[in-house]
Chains A and B, each alone.
Chain A
Amino acid sequence: MVELKLFVEEVKEFVRADPLLIARPGETDLLWCFNEPSVLDKFVATSDSDHNEGYSTCSFDMSPAGRARFHGCLDVRVPKDGRIKKAGYCAVRSKRARKSFKRKTTYDWHLYNTLVLKVRGDGRSYLLNISCEGYYDITWNDIYHYVLYTRGGPYWQIAKIPFSKFILGSKGRIQDKQNRMRFDRVTHFGITCADKINGPFNLEIEYIGLEFDPTHDEEFAYEMYKTDKYIVGV
Chain B
Amino acid sequence: MEDNGVMPDSEMEQMLLNIFGRRGIPLRKFWRMMYWMPKFKNLSPWYLPDQLPNDTLDLAKLAIQRITSVDPDTKISVWQTEEIEASLDKTWIVSAQSRAQQVLLMEQPPDDPLTVKGPFIVYLKDQVVTYFLLLGKIRPEYKDDRDIDDVSNIKKPPGIPGFIGNTTLPTVKSTVHEQDDGTIVSVCATGTSSRDSLLSWIRLLEQYGNPVLADIPVIFTLSAPPTDITVQETQPAIHDSEKEIKSC
Contact = CB atoms under 8 A, between A and B. Distances in A.
Contact of B123 (A66, A157, A174, A199): A199
A41 to B, nearest CB: 24
Interface string B96-125: 000000000000000000000000111111
B146 interface: no
Interface stretch (B62-70, B192-200, B237-245): B62-70
Nearest to A232: B28
A65 B181 contact: yes
A199 B126 CA distance: 9
Interface stretch (B12-20, B43-51, B84-92, B159-167): B43-51
A81 B244 CA distance: 53
Interface string B32-67: 100010011001111000000000000000010011
For A65, A86, A123, A234, the residue with the greatest tally of chain B CB atoms inside 10 Å of its CB is: A123
A174 B32 contact: yes
A23 interface: no
B176 A152 contact: no
A149 B23 CA distance: 36
Contacts of A149: 43-46
A225 interface: no
Given A125-B44, A174-B36, A200-B226, A153 B123 contact: no
A153 B119 CA distance: 11
B122 A123 contact: yes
Q: Is the interface of B mostly helix, strand, loop or mixed?
A: mixed
A197 interface: yes
A217 B55 CA distance: 44
A124 interface: yes
A196 B4 CA distance: 10
A153 B133 CA distance: 9
A230 B23 contact: yes
Contacts of A222: 39
Contact of B176 (A125, A155, A198, A231): A155
A153 B67 contact: yes
Instruction: Name the interface size band of chain A.
Output: 20 to 34
Contacts of B228: 198-200
B68 A153 contact: yes
Interface in A144-199: 147, 149, 151-157, 174, 176, 196-199
A123 B120 contact: no
A122 interface: yes
Contacts of A66: 180
B152 to A, nearest CB: 32
Contact of A154 (B22, B28, B31, B133): B133
B3 interface: yes
Contacts of A234: 28
Contacts of A151: 46, 66-67, 69-70
28 contacts: A122-B122, A123-B124, A125-B44, A147-B40, A147-B43, A147-B44, A149-B43, A149-B44, A152-B122, A152-B123, A153-B67, A153-B68, A153-B187, A154-B120, A154-B179, A154-B184, A155-B179, A155-B184, A157-B70, A176-B32, A197-B123, A198-B228, A199-B123, A199-B228, A222-B39, A230-B23, A231-B28, A231-B31
